Structure 1
Amino acid sequence: MSNFNDSVLFILQGSTVTIKLFLVVFILSIPLAAILSLVKICKNKLLKKIVGIYTWLFRGTPLLLQLFFIYFGLPVLGIKFSRFTAATIAFTLNYAAYLTEIFRGGLQSVDKGQYEAARALGMSYSQTMKQIIVPQGIKRVLPSTCNEGISLVKDTALVATIGMEEVLRASKEILTRDFTIIPFFIAAAIYLCLNSIVVICFKMLERRYSYFE
């Protein structure tokens, strides 16, 4: 029983890294993606092209490769980051690329007639976006954004490859030491709990924006 309690505590310590990385990446990637999605629907062709290349690059290559490039590759060029910083940069850039396309699709799914109606009422472009288009767009992208949040929780396991002590790495260490599969069940329970919290939070947001239905 003592070994079991010790195992749980050790894995829970690893979960602090998972939770911290999730929160930091989500907080950074959402506003970045929101800005880039607005760029993708603007009339500036150069900016749209630059953002298009960015999303093409980060959606078209594996997250693990991006993580390795930032942590192992950049030091060759004299640019070195801590493990957590490297993971934050890689995950933020990767998830922001996916969220950019999700947000862009949500904004462009709003009926164009609403733009015309807002213009007829004398509203500026910024007023139209802020008061009419963006709130409806948020409602439409919440399910897809929730899915990205769930994926992010699971993808944090990739940081074990650069030596960070997160949930899965802690579980593997106990398995190797005690030769028992119980740590994997504990890790699964932690991931399920974290993802359940993500789902509950997004369900609350969906109810908040339900008046746009």
Structure 2
Amino acid sequence: MSQDKIVGVDILLEFLEVAFNHILFFRKIYPKEIFVKKKIYGITVYVSEHPELNEYLSNVLNAIRELIKEDENSIRAINLTFYNKNKLPIEKFVFDMVKLQAEFMERDPYYLKTEEALKTVCLKLSICDTYLRAIPDNSTFSIEIQTYETAHVTLNENPNCEDFPWIIKDDAVEMINKNLLPLKNIKTDCLNLQLYVIEDIVNKI
């Protein structure tokens, strides 16, 4: 993997960590006291200090890194999905991995355009309660990596990921009453992502 792509992976993982924390803070399924303020991309974001939550996020991010190192096209999308008390999916933040790096884009050697795009996403996430219905009490969440069967085998055989139990969701329940809200398309020299939210407006009660 080239140095540019290594930097691209680092920027992607940093952004995902920030986005996951930011979403969990503003969707209010954890007490706000477990989060602290942090400055990144020139704005204030919220980051968890809860050990178990941080370990879960760290394991997910490590798996994403290992999959991309093996094959940069192995991940189709990364979803942060909320479930109601009946275990039905009610809201899904989708990070659609179009390509690790966009092609034929104007060079962004200092990653200023990338940072500005990521800043815009974080600002949109911070007002998500204005365009999404509230998450019901007793909701849970999981982060799902949409990949290919060969990538799953590779992950299971990777010693860097052996302590984390991965589950194949062949029978995943899909949302029926879908409402799709685009967030941002990021297409810079460093990243090529599509971000959107899907919510189930009927089961979110």
| Structure 2 length-normalised TM | 0.24
Which structure has the highest strand share of the two? 2
Structure with the bigger percentage of helix: 1
